[in-house]
Structure 1
Amino acid sequence: MSAPRSRWSAAARTPVGACAGLLLLAVLVLAVLAPILWGDEASVVDTDAIQQGPSDAHLLGTDNLGRDIFYRVLVATRLSLLLAVTATVLGVVLGLILGAVPSVLPRRAGRFVTSVVNIAVAFPGLLLALFFAVIFGVGATGAVLAIGLAMAPAFARLTQTLSASVAGQDFVAAARTVGVGRIRLLTRHILPNIAEPLAVNATIGAGSSLLAFAGLSFLGLGIQAPDYDWGRLLGEGLGRINLTPAPALAPCVAVVVTGLAFNLFGEAAAAALGVRTLSHKTAGPRALPPLPPSAPDATDRPDAEGRPVLAVENLRVAFPGPAGWTTPVRGVSFSVGAGEAVGVVGESGSGKSLTAMAVSRLIEPPAHVSAHRLDFTGTPLLDTDEREVRRLLGTSLAMVFQDPMSSFNPVTGMGRQLAEVAEHHQGLSRRAAFARAVDRLRAVHVPAPERRARQYPHEFSGGMRQRAMIGMGLMGDPRLVIADEPTTALDVTVQRQVLRLLAEVREERGTAVLLISHDITVVARTCDRVLVMYAGRIVEDLPAADLFTAARHPYTRALLAAVPDLETDRDRPLAVIPGRPPEPDRIPQGCAFAPRCPRADDHCRREDPEPVTHAIGHRVACWHPVREGTELLEESTRGGTA
């Protein structure tokens, strides 16, 4: 099955899409069969049954000529749908032309077309439809032209937006360079890449067109006698609504239900398809590369029940791109025991935060997370039901983000946001959850917690927001706290308070802590172990107590040498690591650190080293590790860029 077809079938398999699809199918079948089965009954004039109410003989009553309204509503389905779809097609085609041609026309001509569309969009669609209906005259043809032209500006604006996003892609520039004509550029390179979102919006537009057509017929500007559609039947039945509402209610229900079916199916398709701006030819392979082999020296640090709180083996995070899959996290393996504090350090882009987000199951499609093992408190997160995983993580894992201001809802009180966790995951009442939120704010040393719980995030200082974020994690009974740069942008006094609070949580509750930071000295002082990451891999795993004396990887030693202290000679240039980390989609062959490492040789550039145990609790992924624990590799950290 092709990708577009599979995406549309995915939309049809959603509950909303399935219900809307079945309803649309029923309406289409009715449109085909109703005139054949009941066309004659709908046209029979019975002067003895004029304007009767609902009865056994006439389910919805009769009109002013004694014709059965129920049959007429059924038969009117064909004409109502046919005219609505015709007007939609007209509006879509005209909108495509007006919206797509500015991207290939000369600049002045394109601006003129865009200006015309912008002016037309400024007018309400119904007003445009009435304006064009007066120009083209009453009747089916005039109504189709009026509604189609009224739909075109909005569809043209959407097409312009999507076309502009595709016209800036490299493959369009390449096509222009090789001399592809403007018409071919439009039909071959631009329109195919925006077809799916346009189809979704056209589906939704059909429902609006149906409603607009019924409105024109109701006003007498649409279908004229002897033909009839739902709008005309509604207009005829409205005069009797006080006596018998059924003649007006039936066509009204038909319009609403059919329009709702179009809109709901379009919304379901939009949710399943999304807006894509790259063609399938440029989207890269769909198959993921195989997982790397298991790390031979990954060890578990068990809790009281004999298992680690968090066990990660060969974790990989991949993102699709134009040239294939990009893997910024590739083969990460580590474990965290109960009550243990593990620090993760490395330069920006090394994969620290992505690793934490993958562990927390916060990475969503189209990204792909895979691992040989990803267990939290003994539960395999990748193989367990999503609802159960969310319940487990919501009560046993706390996430402290780098910027708590963006993590809190600015229009909801702090206590209310904390209480929501207890209401959702623990089933507490609103009052009990709020009381627990106040208690958690008190536990993280927020002053006057009762008053603060009723304040908003902007009324908290940066340090208090960070403490409130930790308090939110403590609303449950967390076994692991993941702190992603929790002290960034805080002054040193507040940093110390936040780190001390994490230490208290760890000591009092036996909670494990995974601390991500750029500050290697902070990690060394607050953690039991240190994981050094580079280019999506852990290059060294060692006890924090041995960091300054026994680090063996050249990258770790370079990070340490680049940190100034009170004994740093101010007359000498600050030590820096030469070069820059590789981009995730340009990882070199062999050791990723080789281009920046003075110890690298041809072997390093050919083959990527696996982690090797050098001492108890100390693993290094390097072909030429530092032998002397006190060596600082100063020659490798001078004269480059940070």
Structure 2
Amino acid sequence: MRRPWKTPAALTGSALVLLVVALAIAGPPLWGAAAARIEPADISQGASAAHWLGTDALGRDLLARTLAATRLTLGLALIATLIGTLAGILLGTLPAVLPYRAGRAVIAVVDLLVAFPALLLAMFTAVVAGLGARGAVLGIGVALAPSFARLTGNLATTVTGSDYIAAARMLKVPRHRILTRHVLPNIAEPLILNVAQSTGAALLGLSAMSFLGMGVQAPDYDWGRLLNEAFGHVYVTPSVVIAPALAVTLAGLGFTLLGDAAAKAAARTAPAPARGPAVAAVPPAAGPPVPGAVLEVRDLTVTFPGGITPVRGLSLTVGQGEIVGLVGESGSGKSMTAAAVGRIVPHPGTVTAARTLLCGTDPDTLGPAERRRTLGSSLAMVFQDPTSSLNPALKVGGQLAEVATLHDGATRARAERRAVERLAAVHIKDPAHVVRQYPHELSGGMRQRAVIAMGLMGTPRLIIADEPTTALDVTVQREVLRVLREAVDDTRAGALFISHDIAVVSELCDRVVVMYAGRVVEELPADALHRARHPYTRALIGSLPDMDTDRGRPLTTIPGRQPAPADVGPGCAFADRCAQVSARCATRPELADRADGHAVACWEA
């Protein structure tokens, strides 16, 4: 962070900006009288001992007028920058809060304005608003807005892909609150850094407008106005343009260099791609609901344009106090299943299901307020990466308390007390201190337990944990699993535990659902994994080393690779990798119930 500030460019820019600010403060008091003094004997004179850079058509000292004009020039530039910044942020963030089509329309308008020459846009606005300083400031502000909007939109798009934004959407946090509390604080730094460069651009633009006669009008004057007045004498006394031209050049250069140094000092990697709203379509339900189930999904399918179908006709049930493990290789559709249940499938995905019941209720049949309360209080989601699940700009306690204040109507003090209690319940030491810390001050295991505590701020009936232990070491992983097991036992909630590690699933879960290429291929009790019947399930178990594994031989692997969601054929998707493949595998087998609580989709099982 310190190295960019020690470069010659950064030091030069800082010095020039400080000089401009100092002149803006001291200029009018020190040189204002000399700048206004009319001397008929010295009209339109060149450089002399009395007037170092010459005089204007009324004999006024040009150096004094340039120094005295610094305050007005800089002040107008700052006002124009403020207008452009606020308008650009508003335009850039509108797509994040508007419906999809309206947001795309705003983006199209911004793209059109960015393509339009900035000075022509400023001149057009100034003509409409009226010639003078007010019109010029408004024109330059309007000209700066599109570039600010483009920057804001790009930054907002990257931030809205974070898991904490997805969680806020799942909890139905109002869009304006997501914008002001979660999006803007996390993109404020690059926007602030861009202000320095925009100030330089505004200063140059205003000077150009005044030089063309569309900006500051007599008797007021800024640097551009001084250039306009001196231009008629430049061929006779060239020195008359030196002071205002040099001031415009050095000030614009200073702000540009300062902004560039600040941007380099604070450069950071952009977050993940954005998520958009899911589009849900629910066909009529068939058959009676499963009694006592906290989650019942029937024939769930998630599709994207282009024939991409990551989840295909999935059905599963989670009972009260039960932990169901959803396992499979990466790309099998596990996380997309969780997103569909939580109503956070990214746009333009489409979700269809014969039935999706949460605690016996279909959320899509409820009104907006009731659906928000149902999802916010009955469903808790624990994402894979706790770093992106927690907003880095907010303290841990505030993020936990928001759940209680938003959905339970708790007071701030009561919500904070509950946050301390929930952190203590997940075995975080000194929870009263942790609530006052930011996420980056916690270890990975503490952050993950804090996310679990956030889910327990209400009274969830279903907990969805999407690979919550993937990035943790074995010791911390065991602690998180113990916390999750205790949370289910204490609240009697059901849990859907998503993982690619079948060993972890067998230790934690009561029942296991195995997915491959978007479909369930086997469902069985966790203690019966040693009797798994589907070749894919047996291959997953066989690829796990144990104490009896021969270390002199290569580890067992599953040959080939899982087909992409758009490439799944009509037959058994595992056939190309299966040692038991037969002619019947050209037709896809349906999931069929077998004895001992097994359900298998395999012709040879």
TM-score range, shorter chain: 0.5 to 0.7
Could you say what the CA RMSD is over the residues aligned between the two structures, in angstroms? 4.6
2:513 aligned residue (512, 531, 539)? 531
Q: Distance in 2 between matches of 1:387 and 1:505?
A: 27
Aligned residue number for residue 319 of structure 1: 304
1:561 aligned residue (530, 542, 565)? 542
Report the CA distance between 1:151 and its aligned residue: 6.3
Q: Distance in 1 between matches of 2:377 and 2:281?
A: 34
Aligned residue number for residue 603 of structure 2: 623
Specify the SS of the correspondent of 1:379.
Answer: coil
- Call closer, same or farther: CA 1:478–1:392 in 2, change over 3 Å: same
Letter in 1 for 2:532: A
Report the CA distance between 1:623 and its aligned residue: 1.2
8 Å CA contact 1:341–1:528 kept in 2: the answer is yes
8 Å CA contact 1:314–1:373 kept in 2: the answer is yes
- The yes-or-no answer on 1:604 pairing with 2:599 is no
- The yes-or-no answer on 1:309 pairing with 2:294 is yes
Alignment of 1:152-191 (within 5 A): none
- Call closer, same or farther: CA 1:302–1:95 in 2, change over 3 Å: closer
Report the CA distance between 1:152 and its aligned residue: 12
Structure 1 runs (4+) greater than 6 angstroms displaced? 91-94, 127-130, 150-155, 287-294
Aligned residue number for residue 407 of structure 1: 389
Q: Distance in 1 between matches of 2:482 and 2:319?
A: 20
TM score, norm. by length of structure 1: 0.53
- Call closer, same or farther: CA 1:458–1:547 in 2, change over 3 Å: same
Specify the SS of the correspondent of 1:575.
Answer: coil
Aligned residue number for residue 522 of structure 1: 504
Q: Distance in 1 between matches of 2:394 and 2:404?
A: 16
Q: Distance in 1 between matches of 2:113 and 2:489?
A: 67
Q: Distance in 2 between matches of 1:493 and 1:391?
A: 36
Letter in 2 for 1:372: A
Report the CA distance between 1:390 and its aligned residue: 2.0
Q: Distance in 2 between matches of 1:152 and 1:464?
A: 44
Q: Distance in 2 between matches of 1:311 and 1:564?
A: 34
Report the CA distance between 1:335 and its aligned residue: 0.4
- Call closer, same or farther: CA 1:566–1:129 in 2, change over 3 Å: same
Cα deviation, 1:335-369, whole Å, max 9, x if unaligned, reads 01100110011000000011011111112432111
Cα deviation, 1:576-627, whole Å, max 9, x if unaligned, reads 101000001111221111111122223212x2111111114210011111xx
Q: Distance in 2 between matches of 1:386 and 1:357?
A: 19
Count, aligned residues = 385
8 Å CA contact 2:384–2:470 kept in 1: the answer is yes
- Call closer, same or farther: CA 1:507–1:292 in 2, change over 3 Å: same
Q: Distance in 1 between matches of 2:467 and 2:429?
A: 24
Report the CA distance between 1:300 and its aligned residue: 6.7
Specify the SS of the correspondent of 2:364.
Answer: coil
Range 363-372 or range 577-586, more displaced: 363-372
Aligned residue number for residue 403 of structure 2: 421
Structure 1: runs of 5 or more not aligned: 1-10, 22-87, 97-119, 163-211, 223-286, 626-642
Q: Distance in 2 between matches of 1:446 and 1:430?
A: 21
Cα deviation, 1:474-520, whole Å, max 9, x if unaligned, reads 10001111111111121111111111111111112211111111110
Cα deviation, 1:185-228, whole Å, max 9, x if unaligned, reads xxxxxxxxxxxxxxxxxxxxxxxxxxx9xxx99x9859xxxxxx
Aligned residue number for residue 581 of structure 1: 562
8 Å CA contact 1:553–1:621 kept in 2: the answer is yes
Report the CA distance between 1:290 and its aligned residue: 11
Report the CA distance between 1:410 and its aligned residue: 0.7
Letter in 1 for 2:537: T
Q: Distance in 1 between matches of 2:490 and 2:122?
A: 66
8 Å CA contact 2:328–2:334 kept in 1: the answer is yes
Report the CA distance between 1:540 and its aligned residue: 0.2
Q: Distance in 1 between matches of 2:367 and 2:314?
A: 24
* Structure with higher RCO (Cα < 8 A, 6+ apart): 2
- Call closer, same or farther: CA 1:124–1:469 in 2, change over 3 Å: farther
Q: Distance in 2 between matches of 1:398 and 1:507?
A: 15
1:494 aligned residue (437, 462, 476)? 476
Specify the SS of the correspondent of 2:297.
Answer: strand
Report the CA distance between 1:387 and its aligned residue: 3.0
Letter in 1 for 2:415: A
- Call closer, same or farther: CA 1:611–1:292 in 2, change over 3 Å: farther
Report the CA distance between 1:95 and its aligned residue: 4.1
Aligned residue number for residue 384 of structure 1: 366
8 Å CA contact 1:401–1:407 kept in 2: the answer is yes
Q: Distance in 2 between matches of 1:92 and 1:289?
A: 34
Q: Distance in 2 between matches of 1:555 and 1:310?
A: 26
Q: Distance in 1 between matches of 2:369 and 2:553?
A: 57
Report the CA distance between 1:129 and its aligned residue: 8.3
8 Å CA contact 1:95–1:152 kept in 2: the answer is no
1:551 aligned residue (522, 532, 542)? 532
Cα deviation, 1:301-334, whole Å, max 9, x if unaligned, reads 632xxxx1100000011112xxx33111010001
8 Å CA contact 1:92–1:151 kept in 2: the answer is no
Q: Distance in 2 between matches of 1:128 and 1:314?
A: 58
Letter in 2 for 1:589: P
8 Å CA contact 1:441–1:468 kept in 2: the answer is yes
